[in-house]
Amino acid sequence: MFKEMKVSGLTIDPFTNNPIIILKDLEGKSVLPIWIGLLEASAIATELENIQLSRPMTHDLVRNILDKLKVEVEKVEVVDLKDNTFFAALHLNILQKTIVIDARPSDAIAIALRTRAPIFVNEKVIEKSRIVSLEKFKMEEEKTDSNKWKEILETMSPEDFGKYKM
């Protein structure tokens, strides 16, 4: 089963300094952090902040191509989490036929934001991510000799994350 989610914001992982995109379900009950690359974070941030660039960047180019070809992005889905890697799919409507394209979640989300397509996440991914996130921070906990990380993470809300500005 899939839950519709929206981009709640961007933040930085305090341990690795990697960007994290935060997805939150429409009821505000589930949160999904996805670690992404700096370039993808920049592409997402420019759209979230309505920054207009003089030339189209890659995700703008993809949107423009889809528009010219009259292809609609029906939705984006985050479909799986394997070995700490998230998997996504773009659902495209071409001549009233739906095709599904494999994509990295960061690229799929950047395109969804530009095309105003809804973002859905498989509930199994949300459950798996809780385990992965806690395991990731447990490793960091062992490095820093702090036993409070699990408690802190379990009580955090999306608002506790700082916004990542580009």
pTM comes to 0.78
Ordered by where they begin, the domains of the chain are 2-160 (3.10.690.10)
CB 58 within 8 A of CB 111: no
- For residue 28, give the amino acid letter: G
Where b means 16+ CB within 10 Å and e means fewer, 30-47 reads: bbbbbbbeeebbbbbbbb
Residue 101's pLDDT band (cuts 50, 70, 90): very high
141 pLDDT more than 60: no
Residue 164's pLDDT band (cuts 50, 70, 90): very low
Least confidently predicted of 60-74, 97-111, 113-127, 151-165: 151-165
82 pLDDT more than 70: yes
Q: Residues 25-59: pLDDT tens digits? A: 999 889 999 999 999 999 999 999 989 899 999 99
Helix 38-48 and helix 58-68, axial crossing angle in degrees, nearest 10: 60
134 pLDDT more than 60: no
